[in-house]
Structure 1
Amino acid sequence: MVLTAHFIDHNWRLQKRVINFVCLPPPRRGVEIADGIFKCLKEWGIENKVFTISVDNASSNDVAIRILKDTFSRTKRLLYGGKLFHVRCCAHILNLMVQDGISEIEEIIEDIHKSVKFINQSEARLKSFSDIVQQLQLPERKLILDCKTRWNSTFEMLSVAMKFKDVFPMFKDREILYHCCPCPEDWEKVEKICEILEVFNAITKIISGSDYPTSNLFLNEVYRVKMLLDKRANDENDFIRAMIGKMKAKFDKYWGEMQFAHVRGRRLGSKMQNEGC
């Protein structure tokens, strides 16, 4: 377990330091994680200076944070009654939301994955595919295979494959062993879902591409997700509504109680603007 501390120094500059590597042998339950974190904080003498802890959404981490929150509540007053003590990993939640959503077209994604893999497995197939691409005068040349545990790589695979949607059926006519060609209705679904995933991809890049804590970006991007889900919740397409429903359920599970923070942040922004800050 790696512990990283973010803090403000005497000159009001944000600092970031890895403060410990903690060996946690199995079974790595929440109580062991909490003990490991507290021991490290104690060694540094900062156990009474902890403002918030950010972890991913493993159940053992939930237990660890609950134990630490109870411990710190006994010795210090946590800000906002401890509601800001446990910060969940934004990128991880976005990943969980998207994974739930794209499960609505799981079979289509699997067909595209198999298609790309089938074509890339043979130089002869690649040449046949490339010949069709040149015949149709398409600027793109290369298919991308996804990593199934990373949703953004799946999005990239679908986005690139979309550009070759007219090539696949022509390739099927030339390759008798190719049996997983998506139909036109499948491509229509992929196109509509990619419109939604494009927003999530942009947000993930903002959240994950930073080298500093992204609390200044966090609420705006979470609110952007909420607006997108609310807007598409009553979409005319049944599969889009089902997809958005799954994503909203995951959103509400982790961020359903965040309205206080958004309202508070909006009021603070208005106050600063009125005061000329």
Structure 2
Amino acid sequence: MQNFITRCAFEEQQKALSSLPADSKMSISYDCWISPSSQSFMVLTGHFIDKDFALREVLLYFKCLDGTETTSWKANALIQTLTGHGIQDRIFALTVDTTLSNKETFMLLDAISHTSLSSDIEILRTPYLTSIVKRCLNRILKRIKALPPDEIKHCTLIRRKSAIARGHFHDISHTLNKLRYLQIHTIECHERAETFKNFQKDINGEKLLLISDVKTLWNLTFLMLRRAKRLREFIAPFCAHYGYEKLLLDDEDWFQIDYLLCVMEPFVQVMHNLTRGGYASIQSVLYYYQNLLESLAGSMKQL
């Protein structure tokens, strides 16, 4: 079955590439992300206009990463993919995701320029508007120590629970870590996950679990807090059932969650408007920036 799926995918890929006109170029999008289950992936996608003037997409490369891959390795994977498909001299643009540093981005651009057969390549580096908005939000979260950690292990959880038991502080990072550790406790055991769902027996529709955030998914902290707020009435009885009193969220914790949602929601809305389709004009960009500035000013007054 695996060989059959691989063969079908290869045939579809070659069929899509055959529709690339001989005198046309292709834009490449490079993306790496981490799933909610902490599995890393890398993908290269080609975008081009075919002879019928239709926008086409083709998956050029996909790999499940184990965390040991360096930027040089990723650059080599890019080179091998382009040369393997014979399109190294037909690249029009490269779009990279927002998790890459400037150094990593330049290494990928340098890799493309060295694989091209042309010597008159001009590289224009254009910042992506959504990347700017994401980086602004990440800068805010970093300042208030709300960014998710690289990894939360069980041993770290045990040590942190001891710190929570000793501490009486109520900063936002303390509140967010409570949620993250509570989510780990809930999903790491099937019995506890089912118990949490059973507390929602009077709710019609799908029974939900808490979700956690990761660094590479910029809006997952917002989704984590929104899900927690939706499940607020079930968290207290769940903690009482398993004796997780130290992870119980009090009124001040919920106030901080509401405040952080208020800060993040305008950024999420702007990103939704920018990515839902079409192209943003300079007038709408200025409107979005003004909206964000006014929202941040209002949030500061609430402190």
When the two structures are superposed, what TM-score results if normalisation uses the length of structure 2? 0.51
The 3-state SS of whatever aligns with 2:91 is coil
**What pairs with 1:88-167 in structure 2 (closer than 5 Å)?**
90=130, 94=134, 97-98=137-138, 101=141, 102-103=146-147, 105-115=172-182, 121=192, 142=207, 144-149=209-214, 150=217, 152-163=219-230, 165=232
Instruction: Give 1:105 shift.
Output: 2.0
Per-residue deviation, residues 62-120 of structure 1 (Å, max 9, x unmatched): 24234246546972353xx6124xx7695798389448613472211222344566678
Q: Which residue of 1 aligns with 2:120?
A: 76
User: How many residue pairs end up in the alignment?
Assistant: 226
1:37 alignment partner, one of 69, 78, 90: 78
CA RMSD in angstroms comes to: 5.1
Query: Partner letter of residue 41 of structure 1?
Result: L
**Whole-angstrom CA distance in 2 between matches of 1:144 and 1:164:** 8
Equivalent residues in 2 for 1:39-58 (5 A)? 39-42=80-83, 44-56=85-97, 57-58=99-100
8 Å CA contact 1:30, 1:62 repeated in 2: no
SS at 1:53 equivalent: strand
The alpha carbon displacement at 1:8 in A equals 0.9
* Aligned-residue offset at 1:14: 0.7
Structure 1 counterpart SS, 2:46: strand
Question: Structure 1 residues 31, 162: CA separation in 2 closer, same or farther (over 3 Å shift)?
Answer: closer
Q: Partner amino acid for 2:108?
A: I
Report the CA distance shift for 1:160/1:146 in structure 2 as closer, same or farther (over 3 A).
closer
Query: What is the aligned-residue identity percentage?
Result: 18
- In the superposition, the TM-score normalised over structure 1's length comes to 0.55
Q: CA deviation at 1:18?
A: 2.6
8 A Cα contact 1:31 1:63, kept in partner = no
Contact kept in structure 2, 1:116 and 1:145, CA below 8 Å: yes
Q: Give a deviation string over 1:22-72, Cα, whole Å, max 9, x none.
A: 999997554554454345434544434322112233346324234246546
Give the gaps of 5 or more residues in structure 1. 241-277
8 A Cα contact 1:33 1:61, kept in partner: no
Aligned amino acid, residue 156 of structure 1: L
Within a 5 Å distance, the mapping from 1:224-235 to structure 2 comes to 226-235=289-298
3-state SS in 2 of match to 1:17: strand
Partners of 1:176 and 1:34 in 2: CA distance? 49
Q: Give the Cα separation in 2 of the matches to 1:177 and 1:110.
A: 14
Matching of residue 61 in structure 1 with residue 107 in structure 2: no
8 Å contact kept, 1:3–1:18: yes
Superposed, which structure 2 residues align to 1:106-255 within 5 Å? 106-115=173-182, 121=192, 142=207, 144-149=209-214, 150=217, 152-163=219-230, 165=232, 177-202=244-269, 216=279, 226-235=289-298, 237=300
SS at match of 1:51: strand
Aligned equivalent of 1:6, options 47, 66, 73 = 47
SS in 2 for 1:179: helix
The structure carrying a bigger helix percent of its residues is 1
Partners of 1:37 and 1:64 in 2: how far apart? 11
Q: Give the distance between the partners of 1:20 and 1:31, measured in 2 at CA.
A: 16
State the alpha-carbon separation in 1 of the partners of residues 65 and 180 from structure 2: 37
